[in-house]
Structure 1
Amino acid sequence: MRRSLVIARSIFCWCIATLLLPGCIDAYMPDVLSDPKGHLVVDGFINSRGVTTITLTRTYNIQAAAPPPAETQATVRIIDDTGRLYPLVESSKGIYRSGLLTLNLARSYRLRITTAAGQEYESASVLAKTTPVIDNVRGHTNSDGLTIVVNAHDDSNGTRYYRWDYEETWEIIPAFRPQVEYVKQERRFQPIAVPYPIICWGNQKAPDIHLSKTTTLAQDVVADYVLRSYPTTSDRLRYKYSILVKQYALTKEEYDYWTELRKNTEDIGTLFDPLPSQLTGNVRCLSDASELVFGYVGAHTEEAKRIFISRADLPNEWRTATGYEACFPPVLIGRDYASFFSGFLSYVPIYETPEGYISSSKECVDCRLRGSAVKPSFWP
């Protein structure tokens, strides 16, 4: 889990006197918002067949100028029911990783955290579940666009509760490739010394929570669960697109936790949506039983599958956007170019013409403003 937990939100109460009278809205700010003490947030799960990654942060007042730093220099360990320890090492600020684990699925596991300040926290002991493999991830096309679905099943009927995460990657090609550059110090143009990249890769992790359960079905089968949809004009489908889908088998308790988290973070905004509730999880503070802790640490394996979708895989009649429509037409700068480029540094020259210099904004020529110029290792 990579998204931060939303701990505090504004709750609105609608007051309707009669149909003929206007309503009133009163803002309600929960006590936790004014609490100066940041509560620990534990983000991650115990991966019984791989590397476990746990992120430790703190809650903060939504009125604060900036969130507090991550919880660093903590001691983080996985403990099984025999007392055996599996240490995690801080790889970057607030992010702790284990080595490659192969845990005994017959045992139960918990996470123990000791902060640099000496506070101790521990998750409840849970049995590790084995996640079934993903049957397939497919892209369906119709008149509205592209829909990406996942299919899975468990012949033993032992999973029943599923969660998916995903990460998207797509190619970005800028509108223009400059041939000249302006040297401000010398107030002159020259052939460009360091060319802008001709291609970049955009990247986005899932911003939402995806859950499904098969408890009401005779068979443990998930069919065509929708993960993502795009219109026919989406610029992400212009060249080549990829999605990496990760699947997790949950216990009922962990599924219930994620369901409540989704209600608190996504299903809010209208009169008929559920009211947000205080969500904690299965982690408690051993040093102070009254202290709030947020997060749920489950134990399971992870299954993943990646697919690629090229423009050639989509209907020819689709008119996908480039993402650079606002860049046209470019700007013609006359011979008084030196004063222009010295004053408008967001604009860059593209090439020279007899009338002056064809130019555009840096956003239109530097795709690194929208992604990374480093080719992903998995990209074909």
Structure 2
Amino acid sequence: MRTFPLSIGRSLIWCLALLMGCTDSYLPEALESPPNYLVVDGFLNAQGVTTVRLSRTYAVDSKAVAPAELRANAFIEDEAGARLGLREGVAGAYVSAPLVLDPAKKYRLRVLTQAGQDYASEFVPVKLTPPIDAVAWRATPEGVDVLVDTHDDQNASQYYRWDYEETWEINPPYRPNVEYVNGQMRDIVVPYPTICWGSALSTAIQIDKTTALSQDVVSGFRVRRLARTSERLTSRYSVLVQQHALTKEEYAYWELLRKNTESLGSLFDPQPAQLTGNVRCLSAPDQLALGFVSAHSCTEKRLFIARQELPQEWDVRTGYEGCLPPDTVYIDRPNPPIPNPVVILYGAFNPLSGNLPIEPVYGPGPVLQGYTAKSRDCIDCRTRGTTVRPTFW
């Protein structure tokens, strides 16, 4: 066993004591009050609608969402100065009409903020993304893997990025037949929905390159893994995979961003590198901007998975496990009330409580004793999704 001199051992113990005693969190002033940098998120769609989101940096300890950059003038510009405008939508999103960009030209994004700052990305070439050959799924001991295949016979793509949009059915466990309105219980007039649809966008950075291969072919790249207990697999699930062909410079940007965001933050991890991109402030060169704007087309393919197709022994959850069984709320009276009474309950159906009645509970006689009940989140699936059926469903 390796030993240390006594003086070194005492020093180590003293250092450990100091570290263990330092429990107060520390946020440098620069992190608590960061500079107000512009953040540009999006790409110039070479064959479709361009959507670019503009926001500002905010404090690392803030629980707020990124503040949107509103009332800016945004447009696509080619090297000859021709402009294609983007209109402002909601939450700092700027959207174009359907466009077809000329592959023989270079384009950039130009942004004039309400404060008078002039930003522009670098002029970039137009890349045409090859079609997705196939999107398939595979059952594994861990769950479901969603895999993508693609290739480019021209060997011109080589750098790829994927994102996806998920949609799934939500089936609540309860079908209430009564409701509490104006202090009175009655038969329900407008039933709660029996099905909703949840949705989510990808957050992980999924990139791959074929530069080390003899052919520009991607085979079986995993873009999504769902746990075998995932509530998204309860009934029917769909994923729309979107594919982007990148330039070498944009791939390097996304690779650095992935490394910065996936680091666990230990002393032995690579330290985060400064990430800026290709957007610059023309009116104030020392003003930093974040984001990388490229110009390429996007191809996509959709996949459906039904619960019946998955291994039957899988313990797929519904997401409503915590809602079972229902509670019982008893009528606050020593004697049973007359039918359809104005009842006084233990505050259970106060609108502020969020509880909803489900159905009557009868005792011997039968005598109305109360009602089963549960929180709105357990009954109304609109708290978890929408009742608007997707057009592709």
TM-score normalized with structure 2 length: 0.86
Mapped contact 2:74–2:85 kept (Cα < 8 A)? yes
Count residues in correspondence: 361
Question: Which residue is 2:344 aligned to?
Answer: 338
Aligned to 1:150: 148
Task: Name the SS for the 1:128 alignment partner.
Answer: strand
Separation in structure 2 between the aligned mates of residue 97 and residue 116 of structure 1, nearest angstrom:
17
Distance 1:55 1:242, change over 3 A: same
Structure 1 distance, partners of 2:55, 2:48, is 23
1:366 aligns with 2:380: yes
Task: Determine which of 233, 238, 242 is the counterpart of 1:242.
Answer: 238
Once the two structures are overlaid, the 10-residue window that deviates more, 292-301 or 188-197, is 188-197
Q: Is the 8 A contact 2:197 2:389 kept in 1?
A: yes
The CA deviation string for residues 159-216 of structure 1, in whole angstroms up to 9 with x for no partner, is: 1110001111100000101100112x3x221011221111111111102110101111
Instruction: Name the CA distance, whole Å, in 1 between partners of 2:344 and 2:172.
Output: 25
Name the CA shift for 1:331/1:66 in 2 (closer, same or farther; >3 Å).
closer
Contact 1:56 1:71 in 2 (8 A): yes
Mapping of residues 73-222 of structure 1, within 5 Å:
73-183=71-181, 185=182, 187-222=183-218
1:200/1:55 CA distance change after superposition, 3 Å: same
Q: CA separation of 1:133/1:28 partners in 2, compared to 1, >3 Å: closer, same or farther?
A: farther
1:19-98 superposed matches below 5 A: 22=16, 24=19, 32-35=30-33, 37-64=35-62, 66=64, 69-98=67-96
Distance 2:331 2:270 in 1: 63
CA-based RMSD: 2.2
Kept after mapping to 1: 8 A contact 2:331/2:345: no
What amino acid is aligned across from residue 218 of structure 1 in structure 2?
S
Name the CA distance, whole Å, in 1 between partners of 2:208 and 2:14. 43
Alpha-carbon spacing, 1:58–1:306, altered in 2? closer, same or farther (3 Å): same
More divergent stretch after superposition (332-341 vs 121-130)? 332-341
The residue type paired with residue 224 of structure 1 is: G
Q: What's the CA shift string for 1:232-276, capped at 9, x where partnerless?
A: 222111100000110000011000101111112222333432211
Alignment equivalent of 2:361, drawn from 353, 360, 369: 353
- On the 8 A contact 1:268/1:274 being kept in 2, the answer is no
Contact 1:331 1:358 in 2 (8 A): yes
Moved more, 63-72 or 217-226: 63-72
Paired AA for residue 59 in structure 1: T
1:107-161 Cα shifts (integer Å, max 9, x gaps): 1111111111111011101101111111111110133321111111111111111
Q: Distance in 2 between matches of 1:255 and 1:90?
A: 28
Larger radius of gyration: 2
**How many percent identity over aligned positions?**
48
Among residues 239, 249, 268, which one is paired with 1:253 in the alignment? 249
**CA distance in structure 1 between the partners assigned to 2:66 and 2:154 by the alignment:** 45
Question: What amino acid maps onto 2:217 in structure 1?
Answer: V
CA distance in 2, matches of 1:19, 1:150: 53
Q: What amino acid sits opposite 1:139 in the alignment?
A: W
Counterpart-to-counterpart distance in 1, 2:61 and 2:323: 37
Paired with 1:31 and 1:222, the residues of 2 have a C-alpha distance of 45
Q: Give the Cα–Cα distance (whole angstroms) in 1 for the partners of residues 391 and 59 of structure 2.
A: 39
- Per the normalisation by structure 1, the TM-score is 0.89
Q: Is the 8 A contact 1:138 1:150 kept in 2?
A: yes
CA distance in 2, matches of 1:145, 1:236: 12
CA distance 1:152–1:334, change in 2 (3 Å): same
